[in-house]
Amino acid sequence: MNNGITLEEGSFGFDYVIQHKDGRDMLVQNDWEYPGTAMTFGWSPCSRCRRACRGASDGTIDCPRCTASQHIAKAQTWLDAHIGARVEDPGYFEAIEYPVNPDVVKAIYAIAYEYHSGQWSRGYRLLCRVQRYARKHGIDLDAETSASRKLYHTLAARYGAKL
């Protein structure tokens, strides 16, 4: 599963984390999101409702048999019982279309951070851009590697003075 997501427990007892295989994650902490999250991992809101209903709800509105809050409570119970479930990502995370080399991104961040010459400089613009990029691609800029450190020194020698 290349694009797999896993259901994990959050840190507060009422929340959940959708963890992508590539390290990105997403917090689910609003109860109206529980039914949708549970459905992603295989739950179905009206599976226990019997006949009359037939999936009349997506779990966030009343159906002939259950109120929205009953659906939400059931979804939460289901989620708690299925921590660790793994499915293909139906689209929570934007696909990464091109290869990202995190070491390059980290090195550029470090040089922009160390060498920028004020808020209106090229270096500062670069800093903002690389931060946005890292956030979008789930790259932890503070986690240096020996490769990113080495790249940083090369880049700093060449471009440091121009930022």
Phi, psi of 17 (to 5 degrees): -125, 130
Residue 141 engages Zn ion in binding (rule: CB under 5 A): no
Number of residues that bind Zn ion (CB under 5 A): 5
Among 49, 107, 127, 141, binds Zn ion (CB under 5 A): 49
Work out whether 108 is an interface residue with Zn ion (CB under 5 A).
Answer: no
Q: Which is nearer to Zn ion, 24 or 71 (CB)?
A: 71
The answer to whether 63 contacts Zn ion (rule: CB under 5 A) is: yes
Q: Provide the token pair at 108.
A: 């550029």
Among 17, 39, 53, 100, binds Zn ion (CB under 5 A): 53
Taking the C-alpha atoms of residue 38 and residue 76, their distance in angstroms, rounded to an integer, is: 8
Per-residue HEC secondary structure of 103-136 comes to HHHHHHHHHHHHHCCCCCCHHHHHHHHHHHHHHH
Q: Would you tell me which residues interact with Zn ion (CB under 5 A)?
A: 46, 49, 53, 63, 65
